[in-house]
Amino acid sequence: MFLAWKEIKHSKTRFALIIGVMILVSYLVYFLTGLAYGLAQDNRTSVDKWEADAIVLTDESNTNINMSMMTIKQAEEVTADETALLGLAPSVIRKKGETGESSKINATFFGIDPDEFIMPEVIDGRTFENDDEVVADISLKEEEGIKLGDTVQLAGSDKEVEVVGFTENAKFNVAPVLYTTIASYQEVRFEASDNSENGRINAVVVRDSSKSLKDVVADSDDLVAYSIGDYIFKIPGYSAQVLTFGLMIGFLIVIAAVVIGIFIYVLTLQKTSMFGVMKAQGISSGYIAKSVVAQTFLLSAIGVGIGLILTVITSFVLPAAVPYSTNWLFIAGITTLLIVVAVLGALFSVRTVVKIDPLEAIG
């Protein structure tokens, strides 16, 4: 380690270039991973908030909640420790600006019973109490400037709702969620509200880890229960997005790791004559090899560490509209992989060090 550090301090420019390459490579990998993970999370955060075990949809819906439609009477056939009715209506809302002009925002209405477990925690304001009130995702406040007490109108409709509260991490298919009553959801979806047993909803969310999924819908042939994990993976576009970004990030990590390994190998070859002199002075190949590995570890740790710090700083200054999210498990895995591959490149270079003939290298 002493020899490795002394050489780094002696040849500052050369090693600064190598560290610079590692900083840029690691920064790119970290940042793209954060973007990919954030975009994927924007498809599912509202579902994760349920902390549920399963979701019940109609058999004909093919796991597409937008195509699932059941009556409240059918929903009552679901048996579990806890159940919650859910109506879902993709929509477009209008927000009137100070100049009188209105902007259109894609959103999703969730019709729920506020007394059931899928009611989100309100972090600002209060829970909705009637059909013309909603609790909205906080992104509408941060990105669109919507405040408590503001009224938004449904595009193509005269219906208006008042924002009385905000919750966090509530997006579905990248659109912010507006939580309201089931009657209000039916008015948004069907232009009429019906709280009778014939009123329609999209799904039943279930908490019951003790039962099998078949037992949950045992009394109905028209309903199918899916585990939350299976349902999330089948959200339209989610699986394709995750697989695409996953392969892209995976190939990027592999390519970055190979580039780092090649840099280390070329650096070792450039020092062949120096290693020959050291061997002629009686310094063992084992000591030189350890110095090469230690030096590589230092360079990769410094470069990757600075890249990570830059990524964290960048995440604090990004606009709220950018879907960036940090997963520290992914970060730890990428950091370990980059450093390990760099060290493996150094170990490959050790073979060159061992084979160096002092007379050949000097002369």
- pLDDT value of position 164: 95
Q: What angle in degrees, to the nearest 10, is found between the helix axes of 238-270 and 12-41? A: 170
Are 283 and 257 part of one and the same domain? yes
Are 67 and 196 part of one and the same domain? yes
Are 39 and 50 part of one and the same domain? no
Residue 125 confidence class, pLDDT cut points 50, 70, 90: very high
Are 343 and 194 part of one and the same domain? no
Looking at 235, 266, 297, the residue that finishes a domain is 235
Paired residues of 153 in beta bridges: 94, 160
CA-CA distance, 338 to 323, in Å (whole number)?
25
Are 322 and 189 part of one and the same domain? no
Looking at 184, 211, 235, the residue that finishes a domain is 235
Instruction: For 163-176, give one letter per residue: b (16+ CB within 10 A) or e.
Output: bbbbbbbbbbbbbb
Are 65 and 189 part of one and the same domain? yes
CA-CA distance, 84 to 56, in Å (whole number)?
10
Place of tokens 């039943």: 204
Are 206 and 343 part of one and the same domain? no
As for how many domains the chain has, the answer is 2
- pLDDT value of position 273: 72
Are 219 and 296 part of one and the same domain? no
Are 39 and 57 part of one and the same domain? no
Looking at 217, 235, 253, the residue that finishes a domain is 235
| Alpha-carbon torsion (122, 125, 126, 128), positive or negative | negative
Distances (CA, A) of 340 to 21, 160, 237: 16, 57, 34
Are 223 and 244 part of one and the same domain? no
pLDDT in tens, 273-304: 777 777 777 777 777 777 778 878 888 889 99
Are 322 and 338 part of one and the same domain? yes
Q: Tell me the percentage of the chain whose pLDDT exceeds 90.
A: 30
- pLDDT value of position 84: 93
- pLDDT value of position 4: 54
The larger pLDDT score, comparing residue 140 to residue 357, is at 140
What's the burial of 149, exposed, middle or buried (CB within 10 Å: 0-12/13-18/19+)? exposed
Are 221 and 282 part of one and the same domain? no
pLDDT in tens, 14-33: 778 888 888 998 898 899 88
- pLDDT value of position 7: 62
Q: Stretch 43-61: mean pLDDT, rounded? A: 91
- pLDDT value of position 6: 66
Query: In which domain, by residue range, is 286 found?
Result: 2-43+239-362
Mean pLDDT of the chain: 84
Residue 241 confidence class, pLDDT cut points 50, 70, 90: confident
